[in-house]
Amino acid sequence: MAATTLTRETFIVSLAVITLSGIVGYLLYKHGTNSLGTMTFERMTEIRLTSQSFLYLAVMITGFVMVAFGGYELRNHLFVMQYIFTPAIFLGLVMLFVSRFLIGIPLSVTGVGRLTAILTALLVVGTAIASNIFFKESFSPRVAAGIALGILSVLLIGET
């Protein structure tokens, strides 16, 4: 299927939906994190192995495998499955999941607005540098100044 162009309105609506779902997601995540207290790497890896937990773990893994297999096999029937199961996209989504999962650690000790501001600036700077290295993207002096301001914003927001 040939690629189509995106209208300005569709682009703006997609940004609005992404932004609103992100805001709701962050607020819900902060609410849930508050209910669990301070998170640490140790708490994230806390495991209580029992015969019951092994059973539930096996059921969960079986479910994941079934969903993955079904989605993978639907690639030729549903474009969204072809999209999700494109290897680079799938691994990218896994990495984004890990990133968002680990946000719970700093989120448990700081405000969601502050953390979002810090992470957004860090992600802008890091992604710009990485895209320059991996995709040879170039940046105008204006964009470079914006990246520098992103670094400055992390320093200013990160101060307590």
The whole-number pLDDT of residue 125 equals 85
Q: What are the domain boundaries of the chain?
A: 43-86, 103-160
State the pLDDT at residue 56: 96
Give the pLDDT score at 135. Answer: 93
Q: What is the structure's pLDDT at 83? A: 95
pLDDT tens string for the chain (160 positions)?
Answer: 555 788 989 889 998 999 899 889 989 999 999 999 999 999 989 989 999 999 999 999 999 999 999 999 999 999 999 999 999 999 999 999 999 999 999 999 988 888 888 888 888 888 888 999 999 999 899 988 988 888 888 888 876 5
- The full length of the chain comes to 160
Distance of CA 70 to the CA centre of its chain: 23
Neighbouring CB atoms inside 10 A of 59's CB total: 10
**Cα 97 from Cα 91, distance rounded (Å):** 10
Distance between CA 34 and CA 49 in Å, rounded?
A: 26
